Structure 1
Amino acid sequence: MIVVTGATGNVGRTLVRSLAEAGEPVTAVSRKITESDVPRGVRAVAADLADPASLRPALDGATALFLLISGNLMSAVGDVAGVVSELLKDAQAGGVARVVLLSSQGVATRPDSSSHGSMGGSLEDAVRRSGLDWTILRPGGFDTNAYAWAESIRARRTVAAPFGDVGLPFIDPADIAEVAAATLRESGHTGQVYELTGPALVTPRQRAQAIGEALGEPIRFVEQTREEARAQMSQFMPEPVVETTLAIIGEPTPAELRISPDVAKVLGRAPRTFADWARRHVAAFR
């Protein structure tokens, strides 16, 4: 049995489906999940990782665990690493031998950032100390970040974003899910840290153009100032997260610009392009 936390998110939902299609018994875990949210044959368990005891019924008899710690949990719990350590003890007691942690590229590229680096680093340390076979996945920015533009594209065929010509190697969450499935099911990944990126640097202007091509209609790109972007992002992000995010998308480090070979190393194929993601999810922008 493989337990997938964050099972209704961009990565978790695809991971659950991929594992189920491969014939693996799967338990899907999220705070508000029902049987209607998962493929037939998958067990759904509602649990809150802030309360490790609520997860114990899902862990009993499991052999592997995909662990996703949400930003909301990090904000709500003081000692997140302590909570994760307790959760992993319960997992081991329930029979889990392998854990795959969805971490963040920022652990390596922004280690001094409380929002992107140090917190993630403490979670990685908890996983390494757990006594379980472990694998850590560190993706960069997600293609699904473009959903933030959906309303303005639907209403006005317009995208407003800062740093219009600064590219980053955004990754398709479906590729993250496939790498996760491989590391949960296959041997040879214990003790590995995989950095996951897309196949090329893609700028906000290019991403808007790719969505327009998928729609068959032009998208107007409006470049925001840093201050305009900060004001907009501050409506739904804490200040430290806003500042670090602006630094990443505006002045990425060489490590954040690096295109990693790890997706191809694990899956035996190149990662999907942003244009491919846009074509598959174009309905969100119509």
Structure 2
Amino acid sequence: MILVTGATGTVGRAVIDGLLALDMPVRALARRPETARLPESVEVVRADLGEPDSLAPALRGVDRVFLLSTGPELSKHDANIVAAAEDSGVHHIVKLSSGRAGDDAATDPIPMWHRAGEAAIREGGVPWTMVRPLGFMSNALHWIPSIRAADTVRAPFGQGRIAVVDPADIAAVAVKSLVEQGHSGNVYALSGPQPLSPGEQTEILAEVLGRPLRYVETSAAESRSAMLDFGVGPEMADAIMSLRATALESFTSVVHPTVAQVTGRPPRSFRDWALGHRAEFLN
């Protein structure tokens, strides 16, 4: 049995789909199972990474865990799951981490949270694999309202370029790490096939959608305000903006060969990702 946390998110759901395609038994952890909307073959259990007492029942009979945790309490959540996993006899944890978690010079919140979470897992007694993606292609979905309303992409840090990766490729690496031997102790840095600026992504989206789009660079303050209006808390909004600012640094444009090495196929391009999500931008 494989337990998937973060099961209703973009990557978690893709991990579930990948495991089901291999006929693997899957259990999903959810704080509100009634709203999970997962396939009927998935066993959904009520638990919370922030409530250690809820984890032992969720881990009963589980031998592998896909761990996806977020937010300021991330390291505590990771420590909670690894302690419960050790007690339950789990054989392997695959953690979705951050692309810069291994860089001690990264002092912005999100890589620091993940670095502490990785440390908690390494200090536990359960074998592990760390999956460290750069920016997600799916972040472009946040542009849907402004594209539909004004054929415009509004985003900060226009000079930054990130080798964004398809969440489906992240999930494919995670699934391989969960179901195959030989991944224990590995750290997988993931990227897409090319670094792109917001303007370059906008040009690709325009071609895919078949209509002109324009890119407008916003200030960091405007972007932060938009997140607050969307319901993101101030601490998380500040952390996301700090992470976005790293797009101006060279490490975000590095292309890693890991997706092809682990899965045996090249990572999907942003154009291919956009074609797969074209209807979402148009409807």
User: TM-score, normalised on structure 2?
Assistant: 0.90
**Aligned match of 1:192:** 186
Query: Which structure 2 residues correspond to residues 1-286 of structure 1 after superposition, within 5 A?
Result: 1-34=1-34, 37-71=37-71, 74=72, 77=73, 80-109=74-103, 111-233=105-227, 235=229, 236=232, 237-238=234-235, 240-249=238-247, 251-252=248-249, 254-286=250-282
User: What letter corresponds to residue 258 of structure 1 in structure 2?
Assistant: V
**How many residues matched?**
278
For the 8 Å contact 1:63–1:98, the answer to whether it is kept is yes
State the shift of 1:179 in Å. 0.5
Flag the 1:150–1:101 CA change in 2: closer, same or farther, 3 A. Answer: same
User: What letter corresponds to residue 22 of structure 1 in structure 2?
Assistant: L
Take 1:102 and 1:120, find their aligned partners in 2: how far apart are those partners?
9
Task: Report SS of the residue matched to 1:177.
Answer: helix
User: What letter corresponds to residue 163 of structure 1 in structure 2?
Assistant: F
Flag the 1:137–1:204 CA change in 2: closer, same or farther, 3 A. Answer: same
Take 2:173 and 2:65, find their aligned partners in 1: how far apart are those partners?
14
Task: Report SS of the residue matched to 2:261.
Answer: helix
1:221-254 deviation per Cα after TM superposition (whole angstroms, max 9, x unaligned): 22234554454456535364255234212x21x3
Task: Report SS of the residue matched to 2:33.
Answer: coil
User: What letter corresponds to residue 268 of structure 1 in structure 2?
Assistant: G
State the shift of 1:93 in Å. 2.3
Could you say what the CA RMSD is over the residues aligned between the two structures, in angstroms? 2.0
Stretch moving more, 219-228 or 273-282: 219-228
For the 8 Å contact 1:114–1:240, the answer to whether it is kept is no
State the shift of 1:95 in Å. 2.7
Take 1:40 and 1:93, find their aligned partners in 2: how far apart are those partners?
29
State the shift of 1:106 in Å. 2.5
Stretch moving more, 202-211 or 231-240: 231-240
1:169-210 deviation per Cα after TM superposition (whole angstroms, max 9, x unaligned): 001100000100000000111100000110101111121122
State the shift of 1:122 in Å. 0.9
State the shift of 1:109 in Å. 4.2
Take 1:83 and 1:228, find their aligned partners in 2: how far apart are those partners?
31
Take 1:84 and 1:143, find their aligned partners in 2: how far apart are those partners?
25
Take 1:155 and 1:93, find their aligned partners in 2: how far apart are those partners?
52
Note the residue ranges of structure 2 that are not aligned, 5 or more in a row: none
State the shift of 1:146 in Å. 0.8
Flag the 1:66–1:242 CA change in 2: closer, same or farther, 3 A. Answer: closer
User: What letter corresponds to residue 33 of structure 2 in structure 1?
Assistant: I
For the 8 Å contact 1:16–1:26, the answer to whether it is kept is yes
User: What letter corresponds to residue 212 of structure 2 in structure 1?
Assistant: P
Flag the 1:282–1:135 CA change in 2: closer, same or farther, 3 A. Answer: same
Q: Percent identity among equivalent residues?
A: 39
User: What letter corresponds to residue 207 of structure 1 in structure 2?
Assistant: Q
Flag the 1:29–1:230 CA change in 2: closer, same or farther, 3 A. Answer: closer
State the shift of 1:3 in Å. 0.4
User: TM-score, normalised on structure 1?
Assistant: 0.90
Take 1:229 and 1:156, find their aligned partners in 2: how far apart are those partners?
17
State the shift of 1:12 in Å. 0.4
1:4-34 deviation per Cα after TM superposition (whole angstroms, max 9, x unaligned): 0000001000110110110100001122234
State the shift of 1:272 in Å. 0.6
Task: Report SS of the residue matched to 2:10.
Answer: coil
Take 1:88 and 1:39, find their aligned partners in 2: how far apart are those partners?
26
